[in-house]
Structure 1
Amino acid sequence: MFLHGTSRINDAGHLEIGGCDVTELKAEYGTPLYIMDEQLIRQRCREYMDAFRASGLGFQVAYASKAFSIMAMCRLVDEEGLSLDVVSDGELYTALQAGFPAERIHFHGNNKTPDEIEMAIEAGIGCFVVDNLVELSLLQAIASSKEVTVNVLLRVTPGVEAHAHHAYASTGQTDSKFGFDIGNGSAYAAVQQASDKANLQLLGVHSHIGSQIFETEGFQLAVERIADFTRKVKEELNIDFPVVNLGGGFGIRYVDGDTPLLVSEYVAAITDAVKTHFAGIGSSLPQIWVEPGRSIVGDAGTTLYTVGTNKEIPGVRKYVAVDGGMTDNPRPALYESKYEALLANRATEANEETVSIAGKCCESGDMLIWDVELPAVQSGDLLAVACTGAYNYSMASNYNRIRRPAVIFVQNGESDLVVRRESHGDIVVNDIVPERIAKKAVTK
């Protein structure tokens, strides 16, 4: 397994993250356990901020909280000076409860409800990213009723298909549930309508071409097409876009063969393209916003499991089961995502067998890793799966009524619990047995 951030193998032959031996973390917190490398998260935040400062352009780096949304993460992001993206009232509530400055919150989503819009307006968030004409009218009506003006970006699809590993990770093409298409004229019409609404302040446009992208050409082409669109809007409607949001999608290394660029390389390619293609449009270059999520937290996360049973099918494969699975990491089942792993309590031992890691759910598709090389695996061993910081905790479920794991931050030899492991009581806390059913049970 490739070791990220502060991860290393210590003298005892154990995996260590943030100066903490994972065998000791298991003893204190149990498994499954999400372990987040705080130093690496902060390093990634600073890489983005430093790269944009070096560009000389105005900018905002907004952490896409859908990747990993908890209060402690919101506080960390605020400390590092980033803005924050949310896509639901739950993510917004989390941010507000954490004390994140509302004026640095951007609200995304293709189907914001009236209640969510009201909540966001009352909180005083910095910007709405508007996805369709229904939302545009609804936002104007609610803002007008509250006698406020709200900032908006229009999400546009520039017709760029990112080289993503799975079709669901591409969002910038014409056939997408998101945004106004530039090519068919709907984006132009949306600009006209937005500019006519008295309670909406149109800041500019937003584009997101996909996820887990390992090259810059897609971003550069998106910049070029958005610049052409901006020029057309300026010349024909005399409308300026002071902000251009180019989204996220910057890739990370999950397995051997993944080839992400440095943060500075992504940012340099984007900002250089902006300087080239936006030159001469308006009196100044637009402020550039981006929305990294996975690339900030993805490789900072490790999930620790305890090995339980195994099943060997001679001549076929050996299954090794752990105490988690698709409930704490649904990405292999959803996207055929690949991961690397090691035996965290026997990390220096030579690999002896090829096994496939199965989860504990009553589901044939509950497989975490197919065909991984490990030492001879024994019940009670600790299996560490790397790069689980993004879209693991945030997509976790209670399928089979399995409790969601705890989350800890580690740094400088210390660990902090940031999300408690769910209890059995948590599983049934919202259940209600109607009185008519309860009475029948009692009388039998």
Structure 2
Amino acid sequence: MAHNPLAPEWLSSPADANTLTDALWPSSARRTDGGAITIGGVTAVDLAARFGTPLYVIDETDARTRATELRAAFDAEFARIGTTVRVYYAAKAFLSTEVARWMVDAGLNIDVCSGGELAVALAAGVAPGRIGFHGNNKSRAEIDDATRVGVGTIIIDSPIEIERVAEAAGRHGLVQNVRLRVNSGVHAHTHEFLATSHEDQKFGVVFEDAPALVAAIRAQPSLNFLGLHCHIGSQIFGVDGFAESASRLLSLQADLLAGGPVPELNLGGGFGIAYTSVDDPSPVADLAAALADIVADECARRGIPVPVIAIEPGRVIIGPAGVTLYEVGTTKPVRIGENTRLYVSVDGGMSDNARPALYGAEYSVRIADRVSDAAPALVRVAGKHCESGDIVVDADYLPGDVAPGDLLMVPATGAYCWSLASNYNYVGRPAVVAVVHGEARVIVRGETIDDLLARDAGVSTRSTSEAGSTNDMKESTR
């Protein structure tokens, strides 16, 4: 089939618009003989019937396996160079009490960046010592709570936090482990809003200021300096940026060793995943081996001991394990000159996946309840919100007979979709369902209209009840 000029250059028309590209989907994803997509042994049809749509679905086995395999790969590679690794799951990608338990079961620690995320981790039973606390503007109350419960590490993000963390730790009669977040000046090859280690941005401290700030930390008797932290961005393919950042950080580490121990170095996270058929992220095992070699070489070159390494993956673990299920409401062919794009509108949108609107993020899509031999058609999957930028999938090919009532599934939505979800247009956030061994269960309850109205102080109990009678959200998601 000829390339549709309305399609981006990277997107080719497929021979079969029903095919599931393995790199994009949870490992359990496949089609039944009847054509329905199954995740964790549960069909899209059954999921929609039981829980409604939109619906976030997470393959529990896939998420657990990715966490375990990542930890094992980094453990093995850094043991090879004579050190150990602390792996922190970046909770901002997606956090619930169940997911926190999966990560701990896999041997990971938990990285949080708000009082709310800390509360979820603690509610999950995560030992406080296994939690790291990030954030560029931690409130005094958050710092107090973190020190009081015994959080393992607080990452200091600005000079003012040195005094605040020291004061809180002293008040609770303890010595708080801290890291200092620095900007290495390395720009990851990623969207501007996702790059988090260039100089003019809100995170971390200026590289050249680090020695004086480390001295200030060491001067506080209630603080214990563990080492530096740096995060160069998100959705990064390859290791070049990590190599340059590690080189600069270890040069600084060598200087800091003259003033005292620097037992650890946190290289951050940001490992990318595939969202489209042309994305080619580095396998985790390759990343682990390359990063170990980089750290070993840089330490040897400077004659310093290899520190304990910490990393903070999130998306690479939970992103590919998740999909979002929608139902088609309307379809509309739009002619632009001699070419046509088919708009397919679904019952969700930017309230359950803000990334396309925020970053221009690309996604893929497939019909989930059937297969079709209709010719592929270029589609744009749009949401239901009153915004022209409410796009779920900017460009992909679906069978040309896609129609109202069809179920669509968008892969690789496990990270930063539920986390960024909103109630725009007073739409309730969908439930999150975990699937495993042919069973499905709600791990985060979906929101009903009653939930939304309950927060409005001007709504009486009686009117809330009456409004709830119009709610068409599935009872089973509550």
Q: Which among 319, 327, 330 is matched to residue 354 of structure 2? A: 330
The answer to whether residue 75 in structure 2 is matched with residue 53 in structure 1 is: yes
Residues 8-59 of structure 1 deviation map (CA, whole Å, 9 limit, x = unaligned):
1111111111111111111111100101011111121112211122120211
Q: Which residue of 2 aligns with 1:15?
A: 37
Measured after TM superposition, the shift of residue 280 of structure 1 is 7.4
SS state at 1:213 partner: coil
How does 1:251-262 map onto structure 2 within 5 Å?
251-262=272-283
Q: Which residue of 2 aligns with 1:142?
A: 168
Instruction: State the one-letter code of the partner of 1:108.
Output: H
The answer to whether residue 209 in structure 2 is matched with residue 186 in structure 1 is: yes
The answer to whether residue 131 in structure 2 is matched with residue 105 in structure 1 is: yes
Instruction: State the one-letter code of the partner of 2:231.
Output: H
How does 1:8-407 map onto structure 2 within 5 Å?
8-55=30-77, 56=79, 57-164=83-190, 166-182=191-207, 185-235=208-258, 238-279=259-300, 284-315=305-336, 316-375=340-399, 376-407=401-432
SS state at 2:320 partner: helix
How does 1:431-442 map onto structure 2 within 5 Å?
431-433=456-458
Q: Give distance in 2, aligned partners of 1:352 and 1:225.
A: 49
Q: Give distance in 2, aligned partners of 1:53 and 1:69.
A: 24
Deviates more, 1:380-389 or 1:345-354: 345-354
Instruction: State the one-letter code of the partner of 2:285.
Output: S
Q: Which residue of 2 aligns with 1:422?
A: 447
Measured after TM superposition, the shift of residue 320 of structure 1 is 1.4
Q: Give distance in 1, aligned partners of 2:146 and 2:317.
A: 25
Deviates more, 1:1-10 or 1:66-75: 1-10
Measured after TM superposition, the shift of residue 347 of structure 1 is 3.2
Q: If the length of structure 1 is used for normalisation, what is the TM-score? A: 0.94
Instruction: State the one-letter code of the partner of 1:175.
Output: D
Tell whether the 8 Å contact from 1:234 to 1:282 is kept in structure 2 after alignment: no
SS state at 2:300 partner: coil
Q: Give distance in 1, aligned partners of 2:304 and 2:332.
A: 68
Residues 204-239 of structure 1 deviation map (CA, whole Å, 9 limit, x = unaligned):
01011111111111111111111110111223xx22
Instruction: State the one-letter code of the partner of 1:196.
Output: A
Measured after TM superposition, the shift of residue 314 of structure 1 is 3.3
Deviates more, 1:255-264 or 1:308-317: 308-317
Deviates more, 1:337-346 or 1:348-357: 348-357
Identity of matched residues, %: 42
Instruction: State the one-letter code of the partner of 2:21.
Output: F
Tell whether the 8 Å contact from 1:15 to 1:347 is kept in structure 2 after alignment: no
Q: Give distance in 1, aligned partners of 2:439 and 2:41.
A: 7
Measured after TM superposition, the shift of residue 282 of structure 1 is 7.7
Tell whether the 8 Å contact from 1:131 to 1:154 is kept in structure 2 after alignment: yes
Instruction: State the one-letter code of the partner of 1:23.
Output: V
Distance 1:229 1:26, change over 3 A: same
Instruction: State the one-letter code of the partner of 2:237.
Output: F
5+ long unaligned stretches in structure 2: 1-19, 464-478
Measured after TM superposition, the shift of residue 279 of structure 1 is 2.9
Instruction: State the one-letter code of the partner of 1:288.
Output: I
Instruction: State the one-letter code of the partner of 1:430.
Output: R
Tell whether the 8 Å contact from 1:351 to 1:373 is kept in structure 2 after alignment: no
Measured after TM superposition, the shift of residue 274 of structure 1 is 1.2
SS state at 1:390 partner: coil
5+ long unaligned stretches in structure 1: 439-444
Residues 87-107 of structure 1 deviation map (CA, whole Å, 9 limit, x = unaligned):
000100001111111110000
Measured after TM superposition, the shift of residue 135 of structure 1 is 1.1
SS state at 1:252 partner: coil
SS state at 1:418 partner: strand
Q: Give distance in 2, aligned partners of 1:149 and 1:390.
A: 34
